[in-house]
Amino acid sequence: MFFRSCLLLKMSLFAAQSVAALLPAVNQLAARTAALAACAELTTLLGPSIVKSSGAEYEHAATNAWNLENSEYSPTCIVFPNTTTHVQVAMTAIYHAESDFAVQAGSHSAMKGWNTVQDGVLIIFSSMQNVAYDVAQDTIILEPGVHWHDAYASLEPHGVAPLGGRAGDIGMGLLLGGGLSWLSPSHGYAADMLKSVDVVLANGSLVTATAGNEHSDLFRALKGGGNRFGIATRYELYPVHTGTQENKTYFGGTILFDSNAEALLNATAKYVREVNDPNAGEFILMSFINAVAGNNISPLYFLWAFYKGSELPTEIFGDFLAIPSVFSQLGQLSYFELQETLGLANERGQIQHFGASALVGDETLYLNAFNLWNNFTTAHKEFFNMTTLAFTPIPESQIQAGLARGGNIIHAPHGQFAAVQIYEAFNSGITEIPLSVQTAIGQLIEGSVILFLDPQTSLTIDVFRIPPSPGLPLYLNECDPDQHVFESYGDYEMLKDIYAKYDPIRFNVRHCQGPVGL
């Protein structure tokens, strides 16, 4: 009896292992079957001019994502909607077939799988790129396929601008991730300027969400909730009256340093901690860049600094201006010229990867982050052509401006901290992040604590990585796909409740890749 029981147990374990081994193949087959059904239905309903499974337009769309990792997926079909109705038809078919899907607006996501899909339906908004300014309502209307450079160029003759991306190639998905803009210190997160959003829900139904209608909870969740709550097909935004190109009301530009990292870090920490003037219109981006070529690492430290006025006041920017630079291009600018200083940032053909942190203005934290990032670059330099550690100040004025417009789901407890971006661009030819680098990235951004024996003192030392300062939110648009950004939000519990209301069967979470935590 004992031996028979042991034999049965072994057989059961073998069967379980066999099923587990087969499960990925079974799931892949199910996904492919569901996607084929959805694509066949969509081709019948929308026609081959909108739904494509092959051909030049399909190939270009499938391989044109900014992050190379997202250019190597092969969607079963791609839907190129011209109208919101097309999106509704697409989502209804996807929902009924239980197919996997993805949505691509500007294609600039660095998160693997968030804007494309293997064995599923890709909805891509390249045919929905209208930009309009309603003078009577004083609102901006944007379709989801617009890139920010095109939005700025279209709206500049009207003397208005949206709170949008700082690089021109970024798309409208920035709004759903909260969004950081050159104008954020005075006006809030980019999403705080939303007036209304048309959203196609998981089941294909269409709602318009505003701060004052029956979908006000959804409206709040969209301001930081990413792609989890539906597909935005129309954004209505409050504008900022920035003037035309003739109105050169800003002063600033780019300053390049190749040394003095500690002085720059100290100046950045002090700026983050102390500068908070919502009326002054000052804003900076401090980026520490390591350009990598073989065994050589060249430090390039860029400061982008701007002020609404005729100069960079020394009481605000003096610590930076006192540091010797190798290049400085400062002058009087229109807002349109200002927002072009970072360029398009549209280089493709390589893996792009982000990680996020958030730090209060503490010089020790900034120096620690810099040293760890530097060591990380050196340890894995054979894989990179560039790495970046960037600091975007989030002043209290930004948080208060958002609250004045009803708040957002991020619900930062206060300002005077920095959103920290950790970025890597990999060498051409690398099509997958090596496991050793992925492990190191996890240690760098997740706040791991590593214990090691100091050979000089024989003492055990705690080495802290770059965890966010307690209570601060991470920035969704610049995160690693595995980071639990939603859990860092002040209104995380509310976010979960709203998601359960609008997607009760959890379709989006089950069938579309995106932020974890719901």
Does the pLDDT value for residue 130 go beyond 80? Answer: yes
- In whole angstroms, give the CA distance from residue 76 to residue 339: 38
pLDDT tens digits for 141-178?
999 999 999 999 999 999 999 999 999 999 999 999 99
Residues in Cβ contact with 461 at an 8 Å cutoff, skipping those fewer than 6 apart: 451, 452, 453, 454
Residues in Cβ contact with 254 at an 8 Å cutoff, skipping those fewer than 6 apart: 302, 303, 304, 327, 328, 329, 330, 341
Q: What is the DSSP letter of 79?
A: E
Reported as a pLDDT band with limits 50, 70 and 90, residue 2 is: low
pTM exceeds cut of 0.85: yes
Residues in Cβ contact with 39 at an 8 Å cutoff, skipping those fewer than 6 apart: 51, 53, 76, 77, 121
| Token output for 341 | 């200083």
- In whole angstroms, give the CA distance from residue 210 to residue 208: 7
Nearest Cα neighbor of 361 from 286, 464, 257 is 286
| Token output for 413 | 């407890």
pLDDT tens digits for 214-268?
999 999 999 999 999 999 999 999 999 999 999 999 999 999 999 999 999 999 9
pLDDT tens digits for 470-480?
999 999 999 99
Element of type H or E holding 32:
helix 2-46
| pLDDT of res. 4 | 61
Which region among 59-68, 334-343, 391-400, 462-471 has the lowest average model confidence (pLDDT)? Answer: 462-471
pLDDT tens digits for 444-469?
887 544 433 444 444 333 334 788 99
What burial class does residue 494 get, using C-beta atoms within 10 Å of its C-beta: 0-12 exposed, 13-18 middle, 19+ buried? Answer: middle
- Sequence ranges of the domains in the chain: 2-124, 250-491
Does the pLDDT value for residue 345 go beyond 80? Answer: yes
Reported as a pLDDT band with limits 50, 70 and 90, residue 56 is: very high
At CA 73, angle to CA 128 and CA 348, rounded to 5?
Answer: 70
Does the pLDDT value for residue 107 go beyond 50? Answer: yes
| Token output for 245 | 């190109």
Does the pLDDT value for residue 18 go beyond 90? Answer: no
Does the pLDDT value for residue 495 go beyond 60? Answer: yes
CATH 3.30.43.10 fits 2-124, yes or no: yes
| pLDDT of res. 442 | 86
- Across the range 341-351, mean pLDDT stands at 96
User: Which backbone phi and psi does 411 adopt, to 5 degrees?
Assistant: 45, 60
CATH number for the region 250-491 comes to 3.40.462.20
| pLDDT of res. 11 | 57
Q: Fold identical between 2-124 and 250-491?
A: no
The DSSP annotation for 242-283 comes to: ---TT---EEEEEEEESS-HHHHHHHHHHHHHH---TTT--E
pLDDT averaged over the chain?
Answer: 93
Could you give the 3-state DSSP secondary structure of residue 331? strand
